[in-house]
Amino acid sequence: MPRLPVFRPLNRFIPGARRPSCRAPFFGTLRTLVATAAFALSGPVAAEGDAEQTAREPAPLEIFQRREERLFRVGYRLATANAPFCAQAVKVSGLLIHDADSYGDPNAVRAQFQLTGDLGVQAVAPGSPAAAMGIAQNDTILSINGKSILGDWPKTDPRWQRAFAIRDAMDAALALGQVEISFQPLGGEQQTARIAGVDACPTRFELIDSKKNAAADGKRVMVGENFPGFAYDEPSFAAAIAHEMAHNILRHPQTFGDIGWKRRLVRLSERDADRLMPWLLHNAGYDPRAAIRFMRSWGPKHGGWIFRKRTHDGWDERVEFIEAELPKIERARQLNGDGLADWKTHFSSDLEKELARRRTAP
């Protein structure tokens, strides 16, 4: 089977998008979120810098954690809100883990986050099942379904494999009903929580070490820790993530893995991802016009060469395509009693139309 293409519509091509060798893989896997750990409007775009200022200079691990948490939180919100319209939804808990032993210096990680063991809580999505059970960032995970992290989950080589094995075990438990997690809060006594997941679109969200792009590969949305979009306000950042998520929802990498790269068709796929972006934002409670704000902020600064390539429309054209979706979203919202915009029924894919035309052409 051909290797699936990776969509990188928002910045330069970065070969491989590989995970760091010395850091935990930080899988913000919406599926592992499960309990795991399972792409001119008013005013300028605000920076995240103010939110990251503390009395002292934050350590690199803290900055990485904050960006991981932001990606996780936004991804969880987009994935769970749009689950009614996603095929093959998975169960998620809103919990993201990381393994201190996956880093280059495990002792420094444990000390930095005050962990009493190797497995820590990297992030918890607000309003998630994990949050409802009182699990918080930097709690230490002691056991999963009665299996002790210390005694029943031996360290692995490569070291990141243990975290993936634990994630998969949690995924499996959630798929069957619930996962039992014993944890120790910072400075507190051991507690046990039984968590049942909620539905989410099956996309993982991963922060990639030292990269500056955002990409989608069919199953994951991968965002570099130095992605410029982290400096944007949350709705604009969410628009970038929604664009990449749209590629996965619409199965663009799988499509091009089957038919090969066709420049005009890639351009249509990018247009589709732009057009679906405001639908996903609306359902997650963001202003869908944040997609326009993102494009108007991003395009002139970062879209120089790539937005002029024949595989992409110009950023100003992309704004027009997004704007054309807004009245459709409003009509769809009015038809739905819960206020959600059913893109599964009311969104029309330009790429699918063209593929259908080619299949029936003489």
Length of the chain: 362
CA-CA distance, 22 to 155, in Å (whole number)?
15
CA-CA distance, 166 to 143, in Å (whole number)?
10
Alpha carbon 171 to its chain centroid, in Å, reads: 17
**pLDDT of 239 strictly over 80:** yes
**pLDDT of 16 strictly over 50:** no
Q: How confident is the model at residue 300 (pLDDT cuts 50, 70, 90)?
A: confident
| Sequence-ordered list of residues with C-beta below 8 angstroms from that of 293, at least 6 positions apart, any chain | 41, 45, 235, 236, 239
Q: What does the pLDDT average to over 27-41?
A: 28
Please give the span between the terminal C-alpha atoms of the chain, in angstroms, as a whole number.
Answer: 28
Per-residue model confidence as pLDDT tens digits over 35-59: 222 222 223 344 454 454 445 678 8
Helix, strand or coil, per DSSP, at residue 219: coil
More confident residue, 52 or 156: 156
- Residue-level pLDDT at 162: 95
The rounded mean pLDDT for the chain is 84
Q: What does the pLDDT average to over 163-172?
A: 92
- Residue-level pLDDT at 310: 56
CA-CA distance, 164 to 249, in Å (whole number)?
23
- Residue-level pLDDT at 361: 84
**pLDDT of 20 strictly over 50:** no
141: how many CB neighbours lie within 10 A of its CB?
26
Per-residue model confidence as pLDDT tens digits over 55-71: 567 889 999 999 999 99
